[in-house]
Each structure stands twice: as C-alpha cells, then as structure tokens.
Structure 1
C-alpha cells in the first residue's frame, strides 16, 4: 500500500474503514475498547503525584517546572498514514514525560545533518565548552554515549544531581534510586538517567544557539503539518546564557521534575509517521534516513535501547510486538508505537503500562485476521 501523509493541522487525518487497511473491524474495535478500559493508575493531579514522591522521596522530588492535570485515556491507530481507529480525545494536550527523549534524538540527527556534530563518536567537549565535560569522569563522553544512556556523566544540572537516578529501577515505574553505586567509565554501563539526558539537551541548545522548541517547530512539527497546540517547557532553574549573550531556557527530555513536552495524540502520530518513513515526509527528507538506521540499532549494553528510542529486537520489550518495532515511551502510560513491518503507527495516552502489550497483541491479531 502507498503511504498517505495527512494534510496540515487542523485538517482531519485521512480515514478509511479498518477493512480497507487490512484489519478485521471487530478485532480492531476490541483492541481500542481494551485500551480505553485500561486507564493508567496515575492520578489526574500530576503535580500532587510527583510532589508527594511519585518518582523519589524529598528532597530529590522538588518540582522545577510546570505540571498540568493529565487527560483521560485516548489514542489512535494508523496504517500507511491512514487513520483506522481512535478512542478518547485525540486533540487533548497533556504532558508526555520521556516521549520527549525520542524527540531529542530527532534533533540530534538534525544537528548531525547540519554539520554541528561532525562525528557522534567524538568527545562532546570538543564542541561544548561550558564546564560540563571538563572533569576526568566526563571528558571522554561522546554524543553516542549520551544518546544511548551510557555516558555515566557526573554532576549536578539545574539543581538536580545525576546521583538521583543512579540505580533507578525501571521495573517499577516511577521509582527513583535504589541506593548509590560507583560510577563506571563512559560507555561501559547503561542507565536510564534523566539528568544526563538533560545534559544532552543543554548541549544541543548550545550547538543550535537557539531554543530547542523553535528548532523542533521549524524542522520537525512545522514541516509535517503539526498543530501549534503543543509546548515544551523548561525548569525555572534552566535558564542559560548563550554565546551571543541571549538568555534562553534549556528544556528537559521528560517531565520527571515538571516541564517537558505537552502535546496531543495526533501530533505525536505525525512524529511517529515521520519516524516510520525514516525522516521523509511527502517527498522531503527532513532528517537523514541514515540517522534512523543508527537510531534503531540496539545499544551494545542494552538490546532494548537505541538512540533514545526503545526497541524490541529480542522480543522481550513487548512480547506481542514485531522485532523491528520501536517506541517513544513516557511514564504514566504514554507510548508511540512504530511498526515498520506492517506500516502501523499507534499512539496511546494515559494507558496502564501493564495493558500495552495486550493492546499491541490485539491490534496485530486484528491485522492478521
């Protein structure tokens, strides 16, 4: 089937009956009903949830950025760019937590394409001179290390120490450190660490010399017809001075301490469709296809992780998903599922993480049927 690229927002997505895209209508309806019935256990009051220690206990849980009440469960399913199912309000804007990490990966690909990063395996300190990579621990860190969560960067950034996320247990969503550990050399230990991802974001800000939300709007969401309903907020502590003397706000790769990207499901699906098409949109190559080849290669230290995208290369991330599937994933039940082998892009908002594999399995069964 040929790929369809939706017209710019606010035009509706191109839709077709499920059967026209190869789905069994009853089975697909069962999948969406399943997702709608399995709402995240997180409360609607995100500020209260995080402020009461939803990620870690005081004082490490201090909120630094805005937090909005979350919306209800919702999402959509597309195949080859055609909308075949939706549930909930697909234009309800909510924070996405770590889905933003995958968006930072896209921006890094643009920096590479623009020549701002000559080689992702060179030390970051060769192009970023702000003191963040001067220590013996941090000097060897490369862009690849930051992209794969293997940097072992040490320090404090915007009032948050990297040690907050050392030993983080991803098996229990939302849990912080489980005790300290000794740091390893860069590139020898994988760890999901929000402070280090924020260090990547700050480094990209210095490379572009302008706020990352502006770059994201002009180079990604604008060209793919996204809305103007989204926002990417920083922390009250994340204002920095650039080389030209301007004061701008660095933005985080998540909503761990507030801020981050607030966006709706339809805009997220556009980004997922761009990723499915390896950076191409309607005949334009917005991000090099080669960047997506690199982004979905399993990290040597974690087969489930690429360049800030979650992978399923061994079938263990989501047992019901294809091996070539990849995901932008955020705490609280936010997922963009990209499935190259079938052409599916689906977005789930505020879905119980324990139910996501059940949803994926039902959608794939509907296609197989």
Structure 2
C-alpha cells in the first residue's frame, strides 16, 4: 500500500511539473486579459532615445483648433451620433485614450482621456508589427538582410529541423502574412496559440513546434506568430538585440521625446514581443507616421528606402479582404496607409492631405483610421480650414 501511495505521489508531482508552464501562462491570462497596461506586467527591454536630439512638432494654438469645438454628425460608425465634438465622440465608450492629429508637421488636435496623459506610455499591440516591418526594411537597406525572398532558415537555422514547410518560408511571406501557419489569433482561450505566445515564457520553443496548414505564399491569413519569427530573423541578421536595433535605427534618429520599452517572453529567454509589445506615446508614434509620410526620409536622411515605403501601399494579395503589404494596411482608393492594433491602436498616414494621426487607448469606439480619413475628406470638401 505504501508503495502504491509513493507511486501516486510521484505521478502527481510529475504531472504538476509537466503542466507548470501551462499554469504559469494561464495565471497571467486569468488575472490579466490583454491590456494597454501590459508593459507593467512583463519583463522588458528599454528602447533608448537621445535626450540631446529630440524632434518636436509645431503646435497650432488651442483657440485655433477647429476639431476641439466643431460639432459633427458621426453617421457611419455603430449608431449615428449627432452634435458631438471629435473628442466627445471618440471618448463616448470611456476608458483611457490618447489621440493626436498632425497636418503639415503641426499638431492640430491632441486629446487625452483617463489616466493616459501627454507622453504617457501604453501598449501599442499590433502596431508593433508595422514598426518591426520597417526595421526589416532598414536591415535590407543596410545589407544585413540580403533579400526578403531569403528563406527564414538562412537566418534561424534551428528551424531546419522543424516542420519541413520552414524550408520554403521566406521573409516576404512573414511580412505579408502569407506564412500558412496553423495558428489561432485568439486571446480569450488560454490554451490557444495566441494566448500561449503572448503569456508564454519561451517563444522560440513554440516557434519550433509550429505546424503549417497551407503552403507558404499561397494565402493571406493574419497572425502574430509571423512577426514573432521576424524578430529572430532581425536579431540574427543584425547581431543586435531587437530593442537596441530599434533604438539605433528609429528611436534616436527620429528624435523621440521619451524612451520606450518592448516586453519580453521572460527574464530568462528575453525574446522581444515584436508582434505586440512596444510601449510608447502618441507623439513619438506620430514620428513613425511622419517617416512613412515622407517616403522613408527624415529631415533629409533616407532611413528606409522610398521603394520599400511605396510597396507598402500596394496590396501583396489583391484578392484578400485585408489590403496588406509589408506589415501595413492600405486604402487603395484614397492612397492612405495605416497600422492597427488590438483595442483600436492606430497610426494613420494620409499623404493626400499631409496628415498623420495616432490613437492609443482601451476601448475601441470605431475604426479610427476610417474616422480620421472621413473627417479630413469632409473638411476638404466643405472648405473647412482646420
């Protein structure tokens, strides 16, 4: 009897040990559904800025800011809403938020709600993917990545021993969400791929276990694992940590006003959540938009090749519902481009009117890129000077 009891105890202990990873990941999910405050939950790396080199947008005087006072009718988003200012409408669902709209390098609208204040940080979620894609463009320009048609296994050789589809998976497939991975983009189920990636503690281990459902390059399907793989390609190609490369190539050259952070899978493995873990503010994120608006040039210095930026405006797979290319969504008709993240995190770039808009926040009221586009179009049509 004693022997059986000992065996039973050993069995229970083994089961507990083998499942401790799942419990650890579930604990975070149960206590903390994904939140724009997640920068405080996970280990992180710092993305340093240069305090001696800061870029500041010009600011339209408050009394001249039309969007602060003009009453509008918002007819195309959920239920029609009349006689609301832009801020009143976008804050109707409550929660913390930050919103900035810039035209001709001048701040024409800036509003903060709840605990998010000027230069206050929050998680930008999948807008991180668009930033990571720009970093790939820089690595190509520098010759660190030979071509985006290179196979992923050229840079991450460990994957040669994983699913055989990795042998045909290219960087372009990752950038255009055409990897063909068997993967579920769903945070709500604690056992699904997305939750285990986001709350897990060893991203590379999960990548090695990935399976494919389609041949790479044949179908568009959005998922975060593609950009998780990209971060390994970037780090191996450049020989630099993700946060350090982002700091040297974008944060410092663009004159960011604050340092940022990127969350990690764990203190032990320190793999950056390149797909959804950057924490920063709307003013600094607007500088990413300004870089895109100016075809990759920053005050006369070409940081990303203009050809790379131009390709972002051309859908990689025209038949797909989402018009997506090199990490960014595009509006073919209005020739605008945007980066979008969970809960409505948004960078919107509208070259026709020289506009950049950034929205960060907790509750998604509407599709903010479409909202800004429609308001700007309306002002242009009505001849409203704003």
TM-score, normalised to structure 1's length?
0.70
Mark the CA change 1:358 to 1:103 in structure 2 (over 3 Å): closer, same or farther: closer
C-alpha distance after superposition, 1:84-132 (max 9, x if no partner): 1211134111111000000011110011011122221232223331226
Mark the CA change 1:231 to 1:82 in structure 2 (over 3 Å): closer, same or farther: same
Mark the CA change 1:195 to 1:347 in structure 2 (over 3 Å): closer, same or farther: same
* 2:106 maps to 1:106: no
SS at match of 1:201: helix
C-alpha distance after superposition, 1:142-170 (max 9, x if no partner): 111000010124699xxx9997369xxxx
Mark the CA change 1:41 to 1:189 in structure 2 (over 3 Å): closer, same or farther: farther
Q: Which residue number corresponds to residue 192 of structure 1?
A: 222
Distance 2:310 2:69 in 1: 30
Structure 1 residue 276, shift from structure 2 partner: 0.6
Q: Which residue number corresponds to residue 327 of structure 2?
A: 308
SS at match of 2:128: helix
* 2:374 maps to 1:361: yes
Q: Which residue number corresponds to residue 164 of structure 1?
A: 193
Q: Which residue number corresponds to residue 78 of structure 1?
A: 102
5+ residue gaps, structure 2, are: 1-50, 73-83, 196-210
SS at match of 1:354: coil
* 2:62 maps to 1:37: no
1:209-288 matches, cutoff 5 A:
209-236=239-266, 239=269, 249-255=270-276, 260-288=277-305
Structure 1 residue 138, shift from structure 2 partner: 1.6
Q: Which residue number corresponds to residue 170 of structure 1?
A: none
CA contact (8 A) 1:39 1:352 kept: no
SS at match of 1:187: coil
SS at match of 1:272: helix
Q: Which residue number corresponds to residue 340 of structure 1?
A: 351
Mark the CA change 1:311 to 1:264 in structure 2 (over 3 Å): closer, same or farther: same
Structure 1 residue 263, shift from structure 2 partner: 0.3
SS at match of 2:324: coil
CA contact (8 A) 2:296 2:302 kept: yes
SS at match of 2:173: helix
Higher helix share goes to which structure? 2
* 2:204 maps to 1:204: no
CA contact (8 A) 1:238 1:251 kept: no
Mark the CA change 1:161 to 1:185 in structure 2 (over 3 Å): closer, same or farther: farther
Q: How many residues align?
A: 294
CA contact (8 A) 1:75 1:90 kept: no
* 2:66 maps to 1:25: yes
Structure 1 residue 12, shift from structure 2 partner: 4.5
CA contact (8 A) 1:96 1:254 kept: no
* 2:106 maps to 1:94: no
CA contact (8 A) 2:282 2:358 kept: yes
Mark the CA change 1:37 to 1:119 in structure 2 (over 3 Å): closer, same or farther: same
TM-score, normalised to structure 2's length?
0.68
Mark the CA change 1:339 to 1:26 in structure 2 (over 3 Å): closer, same or farther: closer
C-alpha distance after superposition, 1:306-331 (max 9, x if no partner): 11101112x5xxxxxxx211101111
5+ residue gaps, structure 1, are: 1-6, 45-71, 167-180, 240-248, 316-322
Structure 1 residue 273, shift from structure 2 partner: 0.2
SS at match of 2:158: coil
Which one of 168, 175, 184 corresponds to residue 140 of structure 1?
A: 168
* 2:150 maps to 1:122: yes
CA contact (8 A) 2:100 2:358 kept: yes
CA contact (8 A) 1:146 1:197 kept: yes
Mark the CA change 1:103 to 1:133 in structure 2 (over 3 Å): closer, same or farther: farther
C-alpha distance after superposition, 1:278-304 (max 9, x if no partner): 111111111111111222220125351
Structure 1 residue 9, shift from structure 2 partner: 7.0
Mark the CA change 1:80 to 1:261 in structure 2 (over 3 Å): closer, same or farther: same
